[in-house]
Chain A
Amino acid sequence: MTRTVLSSASKEVVIGFDEPFVVIGERINPTGRKLLAAEMKEGDYSRVEADALAQVKAGAHMLDVNAGIPMADEPRILAECIQLVQSLSDVPLSIDSSIVEALEAGLAVYQGKALVNSVTGEEEVLERVLPLVARHGAAVVAISNDETGISQDPDERFKVARKIVERAADHGIGREDVVVDPLIMPVGAMDSAGTSALNLIRRLREELKVNTTCGASNVSFGLPNRHHMNAAFLSMAIGAGMTSAITNPLHGPEMAAVRGADVVMGHDPNCKAWIRAYREPAGDGEQGRGGRRGGRRRRSA
């Protein structure tokens, strides 16, 4: 049983085969968000703050922080955003950049055990990122592509993932600290993208025994009604063994799919989280729920 333990200064989250699915909020990312990019570049992090709080409130277990703005001081901005988000919330973070210096700056200020997003199978990237991850005792997202690009062949992507896991071990990083992103392709572009993703997720879990993550919304690229397509994919991917995703927790269908899949997988005892998320809220002026008067006791166990 593989457990990837991530933490902030005060909170632990576990990605694992027998754990509830971990939702990593994707919103703090200026890619494709012109306004956010401009603000972040000017040092205005008000939107970062709002995005962090809203995602945690919506049920994100972790947050991804990305500061990939062209022509900007990405290492500094990423570090500042990480410090800001850590001051607002206790969820562990995924430090997201394709620039090694930015990852380094982020890790330097991070409190706890971070998820570094990401390393690929490219030689140069492997040899720069993995020592950094090892030095900081972090975990890392492994993207299953290499110098040759993203292979259409799931077997090739599996081989790249295995290579990264083996190389991580050489650097003293255990397989429990490598979370593989199998790269989900749009089903709108290739009919077999869904089944090959599910097969790959299964193999990664059973043969390589690693946790998995993905950008779930890729699957629905170019299609109408994307949220429900993402939701269908998430449910099935969880059934196949996927253990986390970088996605938008503000989207109801995706979150319902994740929570429902947790129940079906037996990872939500007594449907507690499901009921908590979907119980009709108490009306105005009513305190707590129904006949319950006092505060909740802490379970002594």
Chain B
Amino acid sequence: MADNESPANESPPEDEGDVVLSELDDGDLLIQMHDDLYDGLADEIIEGVNILLERGWEAYKVLTDALVEGMRIVGIDFRDGILFVPEVLQSANAMKAGMAILRPLLAESGAPRMGKIVIGTVKGDIHDIGKNLVGMMMEGAGFEVIDIGINNDVDAYLAALEEHQPDILGMSALLTTTMPYMKVVVEALKDKGLRHDYIVLVGGAPLNEEFAENVGADAYCRDAAVAVEIAKGFMAKRQGSAAAAELAAQ
């Protein structure tokens, strides 16, 4: 393969030789996997996940310590402008490759989940890069993500909520002409008395906090990393109050 396959022959990355994952102890392997997620190396993540499972790790522990932690680091650097969209998409793809191995094991073991989110772009809007990124970062953070795609009308959202019973509804819009539709969805939830069953998060380039408040959402998420942080915050509160309610009932 030619050296100019990527045009930047300038400053080649430092190369510390090939790493043999199976020779690393658990701690070093985790650190290496975080770096491999950072670099978007799907094959290496698959290998790392398999090694940890062979060493007797629970799928849930592999998920949280290797994948979720690695994606947390990616999220921070994305938020800080150190990583860019193509890089985060590669990281997310590497994470998904690892998740594909873990998913059936997690389902078997009934491992706890961070929470469940239904996410989709609103009616009239076909933009989905940001929405997909949020979905992948959420999955990376341990959420179960049901992505209902683009161009969703009220009925599509309500049907998905009914079917999947998520904790969170995420709505995305990239156009000033489509973003008011979020209010239509929230109003529909109110009419049906369902508004308080879900945490409603909204995002998209033309939105801001004021808009989110105006449509009656719980929060505006500036980017995918922020969305994960906010979702986690709401889940902690929700679980906290659920636990409190349980205590009170005893």
Q: Which residues of A contact B (CB under 8 A)?
A: 5, 11-14, 19-22, 56-59, 61, 91, 258-259, 262, 267-273, 275-277, 279-280, 282, 289-301
Which residue on chain B has the smallest CB distance to residue A12?
B2
The CA of A272 and the CA of B13, in the complex, are separated in Å by 12
B2 touching A14, Cβ below 8 Å: yes
A211 to chain B, nearest CB (A): 13
Q: Which residues of B contact A291 (CB under 8 A)?
A: 34, 38, 73-74, 76-77
Q: Which of the residues A19, A280, A296 comes within 8 Å of B5, measured between beta carbons?
A: A19
The CA of A56 and the CA of B32, in the complex, are separated in Å by 31
The CA of A5 and the CA of B83, in the complex, are separated in Å by 33
Say yes or no: is B163 at the interface (Cβ < 8 Å to chain A).
no
B67 to chain A, nearest CB (A): 15
Say yes or no: is B4 at the interface (Cβ < 8 Å to chain A).
yes
Contact A293-B35, Cβ < 8 Å, known A59-B9, A91-B9: yes
Which residue on chain A has the smallest CB distance to residue B90?
A270
Say yes or no: is B84 at the interface (Cβ < 8 Å to chain A).
yes
Interface secondary structure of A, over-half rule = loop
Contact with A along B1-30 (1 / 0, CB 8 A): 011111111110111111100000000000
Contact A268-B83, Cβ < 8 Å, known A290-B76, A291-B77, A293-B31: no
Q: Which residues of A contact B2 (CB under 8 A)?
A: 5, 12-14, 19
A268 touching B87, Cβ below 8 Å: no
Stretch at the interface among B39-47, B102-110, B125-133: B39-47
Q: Which residues of A contact B9 (CB under 8 A)?
A: 13, 56, 59, 61, 91
A12 touching B3, Cβ below 8 Å: yes
The CA of A291 and the CA of B83, in the complex, are separated in Å by 10
A299 to chain B, nearest CB (A): 7
Q: Which residues of A contact B86 (CB under 8 A)?
A: 270-272, 275
Q: Which residues of A contact B82 (CB under 8 A)?
A: 279-280, 282, 289-290
Most buried by A among B6, B31, B73, B81: B6
A27 to chain B, nearest CB (A): 15
Which residue on chain A has the smallest CB distance to residue B37?
A292
A59 touching B8, Cβ below 8 Å: yes
The CA of A292 and the CA of B13, in the complex, are separated in Å by 13
Task: With A270-B87, A296-B13, A296-B15 given, name 7 new contacts (CB 8 A).
Answer: A61-B4, A291-B38, A294-B32, A296-B14, A297-B35, A297-B39, A301-B43
The CA of A31 and the CA of B216, in the complex, are separated in Å by 70
Q: Which of the residues B8, B14, B36, B83 comes within 8 Å of A290, measured between beta carbons?
A: B83
- For window 163-187 of chain B, which residues contact chain A by CB distance below 8 Å? none
Q: Which of the residues A12, A56, A290, A298 comes within 8 Å of B80, measured between beta carbons?
A: A290
A299 touching B7, Cβ below 8 Å: no
Which residue on chain A has the smallest CB distance to residue B44?
A297
B7 touching A61, Cβ below 8 Å: yes
Q: Which of the residues A5, A57, A290 comes within 8 Å of B10, measured between beta carbons?
A: A57
Q: Which residues of A contact B17 (CB under 8 A)?
A: 298
Q: Which residues of A contact B89 (CB under 8 A)?
A: 270
Which residue on chain A has the smallest CB distance to residue B72?
A291
